[in-house]
Amino acid sequence: MKRLPTASVVDAVDVEALHGWVVDRARHLVDDLVALAELETPSDDRELLAKGVTFVEEWVLDRLGAPARRVRHESAEHGSTLVLDYSGTGQRQVVGLGHYDTVFGAGTTRSWPVRVDGDRVSGPGVFDMKGGLVQLMWSLRALHELGVPRPPVRLVLNGDEEIGSPFSRPVLEQAVADAAAVLVFEASADGAVKTARKGVGLFDVTARGVESHAGLDPEAGASAIDELARVITTLHAGADLKRGTSINVGVVSGGTRANVVAGFAQANIDVRVATAEEEARVDALLASLAPRDERVKLEVSGGWNRPVMPRSDEIGRMYALARRAAARLGVDLREASVGGASDGNFAAALGIPVLDGFGAVGGGAHARHEHVSITGMVERTALAASVIAAFAVE
């Protein structure tokens, strides 16, 4: 593994000059963010995602020029993944990771248009995570325009992150395999970068029972709903928030009519764990589920969508590098451990140094009050440029 630069290397980068350059171009960053947010890219709309990735690629090429290498991985069901390589100084390649899909459905901008109000930009996807994409592009543009050496940079932009990256995961893992570090431009945690993330499991428990008339012959039936209710209480009892483990049955469906003993029921479950040990414990809990009535069959499907991202020593060094650069701007950059997961989990699981939450400062992720701070966007753009430049210093 190529070594990480020490935090003191940032002292060789003119952080203040980078910040000043970005400040003078804040309006352009805002214009880009508005354009990206008005371009609707819901994760479940293949047609809009195809238009989205084409727009994003043209935008990147307009801001950064033609890449040395370009690969667009097409998916028949999900958003495509774009990999663009830009040449640079030295051997330590930095990967900038982000996604262009959002959780907001087609037509959202009709009822919730993108707005700029003072220091605030609001609209679908501005915080998670189109603001981060703008910061990534303009940080590289700043280095180029000011003649600051930058390392080789690979941009990896996918269109299925919000649904768990089912198509892009192997592409992402291959793309980051040789990286010296990965910067994930997901939204910040109230301004803090994310140095640890929980692992995520998405499971379904299906119960198949025996239908009967609930009034005339109730004993002939075996209720799938009754068994699933017992499963739900068992699973919720298995959560351990002190250990960082949450188990949430978020959706339940089943049955046909009130006067029919239910022959089918299903629960959709979200699990978050902070350690591999807790992941194993939850696996054991799911494997132990058994019906009280042997006529009912229980089936557990699904699996672990993203591995745990613990705060490793290398992630700590990445944070120290960014914190030193932020201090040059008079900013006390905080770190946070969060329950949400990202594509950064995949990179960290491969042993690659990751700094996540390097994107927008704002709030309201996945809600109709998503917003970003323009001042924060400018600050983080300069900060990203400084950290990236540090990898070109030998």
Residues with Cβ within 8 Å of 310's Cβ and at least 6 positions away in sequence, in order, are: 196, 274, 275, 348
Q: Mind listing the domains of the chain with CATH numbers?
A: 7-197+309-390 (3.40.630.10), 199-306 (3.30.70.360)
Confidence at residue 3, expressed as pLDDT on a 0 to 100 scale: 83
pLDDT lower than 50: segments of the chain: 1
Confidence at residue 1, expressed as pLDDT on a 0 to 100 scale: 46
In this structure, what token pair is assigned to residue 189?
A: 């945690």
The answer to whether 10 and 317 have CB atoms below 8 angstroms apart is no
Confidence at residue 201, expressed as pLDDT on a 0 to 100 scale: 97
In this structure, what token pair is assigned to residue 200?
A: 């995520």
In this structure, what token pair is assigned to residue 334?
A: 């905080």
What is the model's pTM?
Answer: 0.92
Confidence at residue 72, expressed as pLDDT on a 0 to 100 scale: 98
* Closest to 272 in 3D by CA, of 357, 340, 366: 340
Bridge partners of residue 197, in order along the sequence: 309, 338
Euclidean distance between CA atoms 135 and 116, whole angstroms: 17
Residue position matching structure tokens 């609707």? 40
Q: Between the CA atoms of 266, 268, 273 and 279, what dihedral angle is there, to the nearest 10 degrees?
A: 40
Q: What is the pLDDT of residues 17-47, one digit of tens each?
A: 999 999 999 999 999 999 999 999 999 999 9
Q: What is the pLDDT of residues 271-326, one digit of tens each?
A: 999 999 999 999 999 999 999 999 999 999 999 999 999 999 999 999 999 999 99
* Closest to 274 in 3D by CA, of 334, 316, 337, 195: 337
| Cα angle: 309, vertex 311, 314; to 5 degrees | 110
* Closest to 257 in 3D by CA, of 291, 299, 288, 211: 211
